[in-house]
Structure 1
Amino acid sequence: MSGRGRKAALPPAGHRSEPPLAPDGLVVTFTDKAGAKNEYDFAELPLSRPAQRSLATAFAAQSRGWTSNLTAQACWSRTGVFARFLSELDNPPDDLDGLSVAVLQSWRDANINTNTGRSRLNTVRGLLQRDPRLSAGPVAEELARRIPGATPSKQSYGQDERDQVMLAAQREFRSARLRISENTRLLERWQAGDVAEGSRDWKIGAVLDHIARTGDVPRTLRPSGQKAVTNYKLLGGSSTEKTWGRLFLTSGELTALAVLLTDRFGWNLSLYGRMPVPTTAPSAGERASVTYQVQVEKRRAGRGRWFSTENITDSGADSPGRLITQALEATAHGRALANRLAPGKDLLMVARAHQSGREYPDLDRPAPIRPLSFGVSDHMAKTWARNNGLPGSPFRRARRTTVTSEGRPLQHAQGTHESVYVLPDQHVQQSSRTIFEAGAHEALAHARAAVFGGQVTDKPDPEHEPTATVDCEDEDSSPWPDPSGGCRADFLLCLACPNAHVHPGHHPRLALLHQQILSLRSVMDDHTFHTRWNDHLLRLENLRDKVGPAAWKTAFARDDDTDRAVVQLLLKEDLAP
């Protein structure tokens, strides 16, 4: 099945996919999922011919698992750095089997301390390990050495930073949406014949109809060869907002919409170039709301797990689905024109390109259908940030902010959520300090409560009152006073009381009690044991440490019938204080 749920068409009879490696063994052709191709000529690398062919063979084999040209380009770039490193050696190897441990260690030392370098090490290692000549021996062991993971260079936004980014995006997209909505209403009135013929609105309506059908306003060719807006006085100027921008988003406005979507849903920048138009599903029992089914593509999840569907409901102004509704309204004319120019094109994120003749460098986004472009490139993101006075593309930081604030994985695995998004994030660490501090105080309080609270003495004091477990110095000053006077704690709780005194005469009974509580673990579920007996066990073990293991073991052999009877009553909770 295809990603949209349609049955995939079979290839023609006799179809054979072209191998990525050319017959000369030097040129690798990578074809992505959309059919876009890019060639990588290993003859350009400053290496001997055998080394070039070996790297090309490994590159071609590695490329079978890739899904995007961005991955291929990154691998090619890192391979070029490795080739230059080898070429600058005093004695460059003639082929990959001439690599030595010393050379690989030098390569590692030159790259291990930066994220970019570690990425190079991982990429080059993957290529070299595909060469069967490097599958065993010291070189193979060197290649198998662990490479530390990248240290996240992006942090989530603080509240003030996020507010600044979102305010810029909201202003730009809202202005565009209102402009397109106003002109759409006029166009619909003109098409319905509700505008007086010959009036200014009627003339503008005719221009809007031309824009909707062609993507541009009527233009007049000047003697200089330049094309000028024919009706610029009627339209109020020749700027984008006064001409084709009346019905289409600019690339900057589409970027602003993508920023808002990332902030709301945590979607990746690369997703927007391939996102189909959301479909609608009936909302059970709701007439005023609409539920959109949004297809999310996650190529890093692996083949067979690329696509998932998110249900997003528009039930009012503050609901998540309202942004989807607004995106559909703002891109309606762009999507309609795209479908006329290329029937079946149903992508959501479409803008009207400023320069229709400019070469298209981003092979991982759908190719433009002039004058339209699809998705948001990294260049567009950086340009938008620069135009709004922001330090760099906002998408990674906005996604990280959404993921950490949601507190759950969004289009990624639980392990990635914890190791990449949560644990390294400084804002998460800072906000967690109070939680960790409270937990530490609670643990300390529990630890203090689970130790023997009295005193260990060498002999009994005749003024102390014996209990089932200890001698009590003063029951009237008990931490657990009884309203009618005295102490209301059970005899096991005496072990936590500061008034308790334990002398050698108590040791046999307490050692036996310790053994009997331990035996309860095998016949009792963990929750019950932990709730009822664990603290008493910890206090006895703390007391054993104070008495000394040798004296405790000796005392255990001296218990008598009275000790055994008292311990049984304590375990059955039949002995009242």
Structure 2
Amino acid sequence: MSTGRGGRRAALPPAGYTPAARVVDDAACRVRFVPENPAQPPREFDFSGWRVSLPLRQAFAAAFAERTRPGGRVRTSESAYKTFRTLRGFADYLGDLLTPPATTAQLTAAHLDGWFLPRQQHTGGTIQLGELKTTLRKLDGISDESRAALVQRNPPRARITTKASYSRSENQRILNAARVDVRRAAERIRGNRNVLERWRGGELDEEPADTYLRGELLDYVDRHLDVPRYESRGTAPKYWVAALGTVEEHMTALHLSAVEAAAFAMLLVGLTGQNKSTILNAPAAHHRPDGFTGQPAIAIVELDKPRRGSRRHMDVPLTSVPSWAGPDLADTIDKTGAPPSQRVDLHSGFGVYSLLHELAEPARHALGSGRLFVFWAGTGAGVGRGLRTRFDTRLPLAWAQRHDLPTDIAAAQPAPDGQREQLQVTFGRLRLTYNELQQRPVAHTEKTLANEYLSRNRGNLVEYQRVVATTLAEQVTKASTRARLHTLSETDIAEARTNPARVAALHGMDTATLQRMLAGELDTVLGACVDDTNSPHAAPGQPCRASFMLCLSCPCARAMPTHLPLQVLVHDALVSRKSAVTPLRWAQRFALPHAQLADLLDRAGPVAVADSRRVATPAQRELADRFLRRELDLS
């Protein structure tokens, strides 16, 4: 840190400090990886069993250590394992060759091509190739030919459309099932915490023995994170504990179970559209700009998406108004009559986040964790027994297997044998469904949404095409029924020089206004305004502050041939935006002005339009860009 005024020296390690070696054992070829998140434990990757020569194993281990060094692009244990797995696959391929290379100098471009050949038709093959080449570039001693192959552009990614979104009804079926689990968990945990408070307050002293013992057991579980057990009988729970239920029932009396945590994750992904890893690693710390009194309630959470590089940290607002809600829905949420502390809002990101924050708080405090997700995992959860913050990748499948969630086809046509096709629930498809339904980007650009996510989705194509077609038809109808922008021709402009009174009367203005318009004093962007204090978009007598795009159908607007170049530039820009946003988004935002501008250009004629496009000046192009970026809007 700067030592200038107001600064202080940065903390430095003591004299003689040397960083811990990451290659744990050169002979055994083990590499120690330390995740960026201190909550994740270090992990060792073993290269000793690889079916290549010792020099290659050591070279691969050194390259892996350099690729996963602190401060690099590989920051999590999951990313490090993917890098390790891809490199191991390449080593297995080399080991199966008749004459495998023994040193890095013997590696050739043919080895890379041979490894990639069976993977080139898989949608993830090109991604793995890029991952492998990035790691191999860390090798020492490779030939110039091999190094040149490692910097060549990767082939285009295979376009496979097996990943599909859920239909609207399937998505609702999944989210409703998750809401049922979450609501039951809230009722159970809140009820047991109330029993615990009453027991600690002495209110259960006169209650039946079972009620008193349950309060005593809850107190023990809360303080020890376990149940009372016999010391002389191994780890068996005491008799009276077993009589009240199973160990898992007792531990989840005050804490969420792994499956319930999965239900929370389903809801948060389904309601926010964020990545699985971003949601599962979400922090419990957040900011409430509404001061806990606002309507609607808002929580700002700093989410982390490492793949975005320098833009990885995102301040994401979670509101109590669902993303699909209308402007008045905020007044109808949480009007159930229940006290605020007992309300359960499971239709908004804020409601689900707040409830999870509340229910996991005791477990979070016990672990000293800052993570949002903390739950008790029993046998079979895949992450070990006890309080955990890490999910097993099979958890969504385990959650889905507990619910009867048929596909739309299976729900409409029950099978004769009673067996119905079940929905395959994944976080990726939930996020894709959110993108499909909301048609707006989440932690990516609109171009990425259109070209990378929705273009590969075929789960709801017919319905989506119908919605887009309907929206386009509605916007074109609006354009045909609204007033057309009044235009002055070249003949009108010429006549105005000799008979301004007649031209002014013909076009609904006085002579002074006509002269000002001809001088360019009344120009907006796409035309000129002859009466800005009598606009249909403002109160009578008040200056109009509406977007200049509304001039296309305003009775106060007039267009002259001098405005045609800007009209052509804006029209062309709207057409080009079709490739940068989703079809539905384009139809909703740009179809109406595009149709209105197309009408203007049609009235001007193809020759005039071509001439205007050719003579447009850099200043006009810059003005059109600023206009479309909404830099000229007054409100």
Alpha-carbon shift at residue 32 of structure 1 (Å): 1.0
CA distance in 1, matches of 2:279, 2:569: 53
Change (3 A) 1:520 1:146: farther
Alpha-carbon shift at residue 19 of structure 1 (Å): 4.5
SS of alignment partner, residue 26 of structure 2:
coil
1:98 counterpart residue number:
106
1:34 counterpart residue number:
37
Alpha-carbon shift at residue 187 of structure 1 (Å): 1.6
1:44 counterpart residue number:
49
CA distance in 2, matches of 1:112, 1:287: 53
The residue type equivalent to 2:435 in the other structure is V
* 1:161-200 mapped onto 2 (5 Å cutoff): 161-197=170-206, 199-200=208-209
The residue type equivalent to 2:190 in the other structure is S
2:26 counterpart residue number:
24
Work out which of the residue numbers 537, 557, 567 in structure 2 matches 1:526: 567
- The TM-score normalised by the length of structure 2 is 0.61
User: Percent identity at matched positions?
Assistant: 24
CA distance in 2, matches of 1:24, 1:291: 53
SS of alignment partner, residue 168 of structure 1:
helix
SS of alignment partner, residue 369 of structure 2:
coil
The residue type equivalent to 1:383 in the other structure is A
1:363 counterpart residue number:
none
Deviation sequence 1:176-207 (CA, Å, 0-9, x none) = 21111111112222223333445343332222
1:297 counterpart residue number:
304
Work out which of the residue numbers 275, 279, 303 in structure 1 matches 2:282: 275
SS of alignment partner, residue 352 of structure 1:
strand
Work out which of the residue numbers 418, 425, 433 in structure 2 matches 1:401: 433
The residue type equivalent to 2:14 in the other structure is A
Structure having the higher Rg: 1
More deviation, 8-17/424-433: 8-17
Alpha-carbon shift at residue 37 of structure 1 (Å): 2.3
CA contact 2:360–2:373 (8 Å) conserved in 1: yes
Work out which of the residue numbers 60, 81, 89 in structure 2 matches 1:55: 60
RMSD, aligned CA: 4.0
Alpha-carbon shift at residue 378 of structure 1 (Å): 0.9
Change (3 A) 1:328 1:443: closer
2:483 counterpart residue number:
none
Alpha-carbon shift at residue 423 of structure 1 (Å): 1.8
CA distance in 2, matches of 1:319, 1:229: 43
Asked if residue 261 in structure 1 is aligned to residue 268 in structure 2, the reply is yes
Deviation sequence 1:357-399 (CA, Å, 0-9, x none) = x995xxxxxxx8x731114331323322333355545211112
The residue type equivalent to 1:306 in the other structure is R
2:373 counterpart residue number:
349
Work out which of the residue numbers 190, 201, 206 in structure 1 matches 2:216: 206
Count of equivalent residues: 449
CA contact 1:33–1:67 (8 Å) conserved in 2: yes
2:450 counterpart residue number:
418
Asked if residue 380 in structure 1 is aligned to residue 395 in structure 2, the reply is yes
CA distance in 2, matches of 1:382, 1:181: 27
Asked if residue 87 in structure 1 is aligned to residue 128 in structure 2, the reply is no
Deviation sequence 1:84-129 (CA, Å, 0-9, x none) = 2112222222223323344333323222111343333222222233
1:334 counterpart residue number:
363
More deviation, 148-157/429-438: 429-438
Deviation sequence 1:129-178 (CA, Å, 0-9, x none) = 33465574477247614222254653221123213322321222222211
Change (3 A) 1:8 1:331: farther
The residue type equivalent to 1:212 in the other structure is D
CA distance in 1, matches of 2:232, 2:246: 15
CA contact 2:47–2:61 (8 Å) conserved in 1: yes
CA distance in 2, matches of 1:535, 1:444: 15
Alpha-carbon shift at residue 421 of structure 1 (Å): 1.8
Change (3 A) 1:219 1:414: same
2:590 counterpart residue number:
none
More deviation, 347-356/285-294: 285-294
CA distance in 2, matches of 1:215, 1:188: 17
CA contact 1:258–1:376 (8 Å) conserved in 2: no
Structure 2, unmatched stretches of 5+, are: 2-7, 321-332, 335-344, 405-421, 478-490, 492-559, 572-596, 610-635
Deviation sequence 1:253-308 (CA, Å, 0-9, x none) = 11111111111122333235532224352526946764333231212122x54332
Alpha-carbon shift at residue 12 of structure 1 (Å): 3.2
Structure 1, unmatched stretches of 5+, are: 2-6, 339-343, 361-367, 446-467, 469-518, 543-577
Alpha-carbon shift at residue 440 of structure 1 (Å): 9.1
CA distance in 2, matches of 1:162, 1:132: 51
CA distance in 2, matches of 1:529, 1:211: 67
CA distance in 1, matches of 2:300, 2:33: 33
Deviation sequence 1:25-63 (CA, Å, 0-9, x none) = 843322111353223333422122332233223222221
CA distance in 1, matches of 2:361, 2:150: 56
The residue type equivalent to 1:75 in the other structure is T
CA contact 1:291–1:313 (8 Å) conserved in 2: yes
